[in-house]
Structure 1
């Protein structure tokens, strides 16, 4: 896998970084501008030595003056700071391929700078800055080499958003039987709004957090990257007085059934490099959807050989048969995968007994279908037990594992994920995490990490009475929020009516399989539903890629409408969904996406919009006009003679 980070110090500034006393802050800029994109981050100190920053784009304010700093058990870096050194500007290039993403090949240039501060005791803290076309980022570092264990009691980092901005934020649910799991609705809010009507009691807001700022001229997504075993996953505090959203650590009681200690504060031996705080900026919402800044900042792939890692589509029996764990039902879904040319099938809970009684893994392997199996997080937390289990699964012929019910952003869990990805890779196992936090660039570092839940997906038709009414709107928000953080196991294509009846049209549900990006797409619903599909829809499911070479937003309106173009090798599609209860006109220029094709097939609502499809094929024209049904959708597939 092509995976390169290149740094080049600007020629006139080459030289060793020297720390010296009596530094004149005015003599060196603590700001950093991007050469492309006109993004800038500027650090400054108040008279009390309090560190703050602001972010601009084309000199327009994006993030107003916001605090930076850390209060530790042995040192305080929240006031009394002075500048010791400003490093030369460096150019950085990130060139790599992703196994899972909206775009396969990434090649981005950045500018970087590091500013060293000392506190009143003389202790040092470094703030690294990065700017690029897609936004800015910063992180903290402690350079001391004494291997001392340091604990952070409080991080005062904040993000000040203008009061008239529009935001889409997800409540961060407090610890419970199945929480936090990032499975709540994204709420449309204004800075300063309190959390209203969450699915579960909540203690803050999740990241990524989306805002429309600068009098609606710019879009901002606040996120994290590179979180590893040195830091917990973080969220935002619930109160945003004056529009200031502050960092909050994972809560102490986020343990579920895992053997975690009492201290939830970050703790690590020096030297210590912390995760990136990422601020993605765009002129259009579509710029946010396409951003790879989170993976750009994540560590490069740790796997030399990724040839065995292959995305794909999977059948999955749980959604349609949640209580049936019999060999017969698992084998039926293996046959279904084989008939559609899907590469995978997922055996969920109860698979061990089914395999013992019916040899379901051997059958899948004999059919050329790769089996993945479900597991419980507590069984894979201990390193020695995990490695042993992975070896046993690989020996059985298992190709991937779905590990469920983590329900924690604690530092120990973040560390477990890194070891888990590595241990799984050694046995050539793919990983799917459920009941879990959002990814933070991990699918670049560990390409065998294919997907994660951390989304209010199609299983909510079983559990959440508000879901049918809000699902379409959420489907036009999540691609700009959750899916930017990493691959999303939304489990699309849920047509059968469950406890809480679906309101989205059947085409809308089908389109979600092409709207969301996931290394392995786990399709919901039954064999009977798949068998009932018209031939063009069946063919679409057979042809549909699980990864993409190129994605382009055509209409990008979070909460309202999303239309994207997708390409993969010789395939080309346009997919659209309506997030509202009102019909929406669509006018598309097809010529741009139809090179090499002579016709286009359109899949829209059938006679019964909730359950049926209409497919029509037309000679290629330059434009196409259509009216999106309320909560509806469409799929255009370009075809050759």
Structure 2
């Protein structure tokens, strides 16, 4: 009887071990999630010593090769000795929303979600959330612990392994300085693993988003962040990418030149538990145009925190600074307000120095009397302290101001990410729109805070004043940035800069015009003087009057980063095709205008005039199936369909 009892007990133990082993194996096999269409998949793996990695595939072809995952904290280590505790079932979520600013107004995507819980050798838990959709995959770290204890992350070993022989476009991340980091460098054409060379300023890493052509040139991938809030710094990529593995890097501790930030021994992420960290987004497409149109970054971001958004209106603005940087007189501000009124714009922007010109409310009252909404410039330090910020916003709203352009953030530290979120929130309470300059890139914030209309974080047309290499590289950059920076969120490029500045422009006038319709921005701030606008042909002036600031629908026709871009843009009954050439060579193209201009009988073509740098040619034609056109070197065109 005793032997039988021992036998039964041993049998139960063996069965328990079997089922535990089987369950563990089953969970290990389930360490993945794939998109509803089964094209995109992210898979986690554990080594024998408990080190965690992941890979990403599309159609079972490698997009991101085996790459490290893990966090090293002040109190726990999650980089080795890990084991699987729990694997959730796959849950579907439907991200259905509208964007105030975007290539397409309405978004409706299904995401597959799975959460996997790991424990380390001390029994501490770390959760990794996985997401897969038709536009790519994403993951984030999460601590569920509810004891509210503080935790510091000393290192995030996350990497993105881009296999060798893949090329792409990456922007250097500048070392901290008087005006850096501000995401204002060139996107460089690189091969996976290349070192940083020829950056504008000393660089300490690479920016995100980062674009690569992978899978033997059959796929495109964009590495980005989404959902960063005040519990994490903005992140970039480390400069050392040997073997093509790009590791996450935190903001540098000395990124504090423009703000009243405390001196710190480090700038590590720090938060009380529970703690949800930003998404690492991996956008995937068969064509570069798929990347350009992706909304995965906003799909991952929290839903809008503004219940009534009826007061948030995209629009266009005249702007005096570019043509008159040293003139802060009331007369010049009023002149540009009048220019906005004459072109049917909603807004006028009063840049640095406006307060002196607004004595007794002169320039703001004049704008309001013309039916134009004033936007005003401010320095970031004025909006960093919570009480000062709220007081200032109330004051501006009381004056009739409708939006703020806040400049010189120049830091990705966690405190700055928190302050920026508070700017959006406090501005929304006063019905103020927000434009950030000298700043970090958006991270899906335009969905969460729809009053976030645009941001700089780009080497825009002010570079004709400051950067000797800009004229030669501008056309190329204009065919790269829509696939990189502008995917992250709205971009204040300040287009249409025709007047020749310190570093003379090489792009044609039509190329400069077309950038207003290839970049996406909730408020388009047009550069140049009243005299230039007054000299335009009536058809071009009418284009400015009718041109939308944001779009209902966008489709790509040609999408070749660094070479050319041609888009079909629609807003209500308005329908356009816009294209630019990023090269120094003539570029012949053929378009099926009957396909893109359904319901229209004619089209108006705006192309280069006799003086390609300064003038326009406007002609009207009947629509044909095979329209042949040759883009001028660094040139462009705009088609408006008409009846």
Say whether the fold is shared (TM-score over 0.5): yes
Give distance in 1, aligned partners of 2:192 and 2:167. 7
Say whether 1:480 aligns with 2:483.
Answer: yes
Give distance in 1, aligned partners of 2:176 and 2:403. 28
SS for the counterpart of 1:116 is: strand
Which residue number in structure 2 is paired with residue 382 of structure 1?
A: 385
Shift of 1:67: 0.3
> 1:327, 1:357 within 8 Å by CA — same for their partners in 2?
no
Give distance in 2, aligned partners of 1:634 and 1:588. 13
Give distance in 1, aligned partners of 2:358 and 2:115. 55
Which residue number in structure 2 is paired with residue 327 of structure 1?
A: 330
Shift of 1:358: 6.4
TM-score scaled by length of structure 1: 0.96
Shift of 1:349: 0.6
Output one character per residue of 1:249-297: Cα deviation in whole Å (capped at 9) or x when no partner.
Answer: 0000001231223131000000000000000000000000000000000
Output one character per residue of 1:231-265: Cα deviation in whole Å (capped at 9) or x when no partner.
Answer: 00000000111100000000000012312231310
Say whether 1:255 aligns with 2:256.
Answer: yes
Say whether 1:590 aligns with 2:589.
Answer: no
Output one character per residue of 1:137-178: Cα deviation in whole Å (capped at 9) or x when no partner.
Answer: 000000100000000000000000010001100000010011
Which residue number in structure 1 is paired with residue 157 of structure 2?
A: 156
Give distance in 2, aligned partners of 1:612 and 1:419. 45
Give distance in 2, aligned partners of 1:623 and 1:434. 43
Which residue number in structure 2 is paired with residue 179 of structure 1?
A: 180
Give distance in 1, aligned partners of 2:495 and 2:550. 15
Aligned with residue 563 of structure 1, among 551, 563, 566: 566
SS for the counterpart of 1:602 is: strand
Say which is worse superposed, 498-507 or 614-623, in terms of deviation.
614-623
Which residue number in structure 1 is paired with residue 445 of structure 2?
A: 442
Deviant stretches of 4+, over 3 Å = 20-25
Larger Rg: 2
Give distance in 2, aligned partners of 1:496 and 1:190. 36
Which residue number in structure 1 is paired with residue 224 of structure 2?
A: 223
> 1:21, 1:84 within 8 Å by CA — same for their partners in 2?
no
Give distance in 2, aligned partners of 1:150 and 1:618. 66
> 2:258, 2:410 within 8 Å by CA — same for their partners in 1?
no
Which residue number in structure 2 is paired with residue 188 of structure 1?
A: 189
Which residue number in structure 2 is paired with residue 117 of structure 1?
A: 118
Shift of 1:357: 5.8
Give distance in 2, aligned partners of 1:166 and 1:620. 38
What are the within-5 Å matches in structure 2 for residues 455-534 of structure 1?
455-534=458-537
Shift of 1:25: 3.3
> 1:505, 1:610 within 8 Å by CA — same for their partners in 2?
yes
Which residue number in structure 2 is paired with residue 126 of structure 1?
A: 127
Give distance in 2, aligned partners of 1:159 and 1:270. 27
> 1:168, 1:186 within 8 Å by CA — same for their partners in 2?
yes
Which residue number in structure 1 is paired with residue 376 of structure 2?
A: 373
SS for the counterpart of 1:305 is: coil
Give distance in 2, aligned partners of 1:328 and 1:140. 54
Aligned with residue 350 of structure 1, among 332, 348, 353: 353
TM-score scaled by length of structure 2: 0.96
CA RMSD in angstroms, aligned pairs only:
1.0
Give distance in 1, aligned partners of 2:595 and 2:115. 43
The alignment of Structure 1 onto Structure 2 pairs a total of residues equal to 621
Shift of 1:493: 0.1
> 2:153, 2:270 within 8 Å by CA — same for their partners in 1?
yes
SS for the counterpart of 2:78 is: coil
> 2:99, 2:450 within 8 Å by CA — same for their partners in 1?
yes
SS for the counterpart of 1:504 is: coil
Give distance in 2, aligned partners of 1:25 and 1:629. 62
What are the within-5 Å matches in structure 2 for residues 20-39 of structure 1?
24-28=23-27, 29-36=30-37, 38-39=39-40
Which residue number in structure 1 is paired with residue 400 of structure 2?
A: 397
Aligned with residue 307 of structure 1, among 287, 310, 324: 310
Shift of 1:33: 1.0
Shift of 1:36: 2.0
Which residue number in structure 2 is paired with residue 281 of structure 1?
A: 284
Output one character per residue of 1:59-105: Cα deviation in whole Å (capped at 9) or x when no partner.
Answer: 00110100000000000000000000000110111000000000000
Give distance in 1, aligned partners of 2:20 and 2:196. 47
Give distance in 1, aligned partners of 2:359 and 2:591. 54
Give distance in 2, aligned partners of 1:275 and 1:192. 25
Give distance in 2, aligned partners of 1:27 and 1:46. 16
Which residue number in structure 2 is paired with residue 578 of structure 1?
A: 581
> 2:178, 2:258 within 8 Å by CA — same for their partners in 1?
no
SS for the counterpart of 1:489 is: coil
> 1:327, 1:358 within 8 Å by CA — same for their partners in 2?
no
Give distance in 2, aligned partners of 1:250 and 1:67. 20
Give distance in 2, aligned partners of 1:618 and 1:279. 43
> 2:382, 2:388 within 8 Å by CA — same for their partners in 1?
yes
